[in-house]
Chain A
């Protein structure tokens, strides 16, 4: 586990930069993590991030594309426009959640 100075605070991250302690996450941290990925957050981004944040706290899983389509009402094309090259992976990182993973 490593630590990282960002947005005037310190966060714990794994080797790929995903946060490992969500209590350290806040909107300023999200803005800074997004900047590192070359993304400037707009209200449309925040709609996705807020859904992931709430869903992860309730279910303990990062929602997939189908859940963002059907439950959050955000089409796949829009997800790719907001978070290019892997929207779930990028949105999860900015939302302070772990990388979507399989069992191995």
Chain B
């Protein structure tokens, strides 16, 4: 019996288990999925938890129930991969040999990487919303909020869902207004990049939102340390930002196990071919989702668009054929902008977010790179799509895995490559 081993039963690993259990002959192949955690989280929903819009029940399901019957779930901590010997060791010393390995171990927060961040202010004045525990603690902190300086800060790139901190700032503006606390709150957005929006088209289409919502932006701020005694952030070039409540996005890191196995880069992400999704060092290792070092966003939509490509390439690899399926960097993100509106982005390696209609030209019904109420309803509807279509590896109607140019208004010279004829 040949072994296909998937490390990680999050969004990407669960989708791959479904795709491959449909494609591989169960007489020849055994599919195993390893993950330490029993709970699967709908992570886009974490954004809504601090504002009381979603509760725990909206965003949690047991992992085991979301995996296909054709895959065996092993709930255990992964100790290391031994790629030369084609085997994985679990922390209880169980040895799992593999013929093909898929790394889907994602990314996690590493607040301990920043001096002072996990000091006395952590989970008191310093909060995050990338874990359920953190989002719930932040909800409690907001309930106590009576005004002051609320700072939303990104420590270091890359991060999972790069628009989420902006969405948090937009929703905080709206939420504070409904609570009659907006005039008593200074809302500050701190980024290590040169602006809250860094792409020219997005900056011109959406830049006004920051002024309109009275959000101060501090740019080029590379956080060196947090000073919990005086409740301030300090940058490498000696600038300071004071906070009463800090909503931070700590550094994001891949699985420590990848680093310990000698497979990770400086963030413990797996160096991966950006088109074939094959690990650069070992041909029988593949990677998907946040665990890779690919130059696209770390987001569930990316894993969704990668999954059919990876499935095709794993099947080609097994048959000894060249890997012909190519991932184009496609990502699709709803950006909540507050007051019941949202912005939709659709982009890939070669094209930054542009205006237009999605998914059908001139009809939409969703609008790209513009605020609309329908986009917001799209984001809310997405929860159902996630639990019922996305995780099962089913296609979303009208949305192919490769980004479509139909409906997009692309300014001359913006597309990096000529589209395939």
Interface positions of A (Cβ within 8 A of B): 1, 14-15, 59-61, 64-67, 69-71, 76-77, 80, 84-86, 89, 99-104
- Contact A99:B266 (CB < 8 A) given known A65-B222, A77-B236: no
Distance between B229 CB and nearest chain A CB, rounded to angstroms: 23
CA distance A100 to B295 in the complex (A): 11
Contact B157 A64 (CB under 8 A): yes
Question: What are some 14 contacts across the A-B interface (CB < 8 A)?
Answer: A14-B200, A60-B295, A65-B236, A66-B251, A66-B266, A67-B265, A67-B266, A71-B265, A101-B199, A102-B163, A103-B162, A104-B162, A104-B206, A104-B352
B198-215 contact mask (Cβ, 8 Å, vs A): 1 or 0: 111010001000000000
Distance between B303 CB and nearest chain A CB, rounded to angstroms: 15
Contact B194 A86 (CB under 8 A): yes
CA distance A85 to B219 in the complex (A): 10
- Contact A66:B295 (CB < 8 A) given known A77-B236, A104-B163: no
CA distance A77 to B76 in the complex (A): 41
- Contact A89:B194 (CB < 8 A) given known A59-B295, A60-B295, A103-B163: yes
CA distance A59 to B335 in the complex (A): 28
CA distance A74 to B222 in the complex (A): 16
Contact B222 A102 (CB under 8 A): no
CA distance A59 to B293 in the complex (A): 9
Contact B157 A100 (CB under 8 A): yes
CA distance A76 to B156 in the complex (A): 13
Query: B345 at the A/B interface (Cβ < 8 Å)?
Result: yes
Contact B274 A104 (CB under 8 A): no
CA distance A65 to B266 in the complex (A): 10
Contact of A104 among B194, B202, B224, B413 (CB under 8 A): B202
Interface positions of B (Cβ within 8 A of A): 156-158, 162-163, 166, 193-194, 197-200, 202, 206, 220, 222, 224, 236-237, 251, 265-267, 274, 293, 295-297, 331, 333, 335, 345, 347, 352-353, 413
Contact A104 B267 (CB under 8 A): no
Contact of B237 among A80, A100, A104 (CB under 8 A): A80
Contact B220 A84 (CB under 8 A): no
Distance between A1 CB and nearest chain B CB, rounded to angstroms: 5
Contact A103 B331 (CB under 8 A): yes
Contact A1 B413 (CB under 8 A): yes
CA distance A99 to B345 in the complex (A): 20
Distance between B213 CB and nearest chain A CB, rounded to angstroms: 16
CA distance A65 to B274 in the complex (A): 22
Chain B residues lying within 8 Å of A104, measured Cβ to Cβ, are 162-163, 166, 197-199, 202, 206, 335, 345, 352-353
Contact of B224 among A14, A70, A76, A86 (CB under 8 A): A76
Chain A residues lying within 8 Å of B206, measured Cβ to Cβ, are 104
CA distance A70 to B269 in the complex (A): 14
Chain B residues lying within 8 Å of A102, measured Cβ to Cβ, are 157, 162-163, 193, 197-199
Chain B residues lying within 8 Å of A101, measured Cβ to Cβ, are 193, 198-199
CA distance A84 to B197 in the complex (A): 22
- Contact A103:B220 (CB < 8 A) given known A77-B236, A80-B236, A84-B237: no
Chain A residues lying within 8 Å of B265, measured Cβ to Cβ, are 67, 71
- Closest-by-CB residue of A relative to B199 is A104
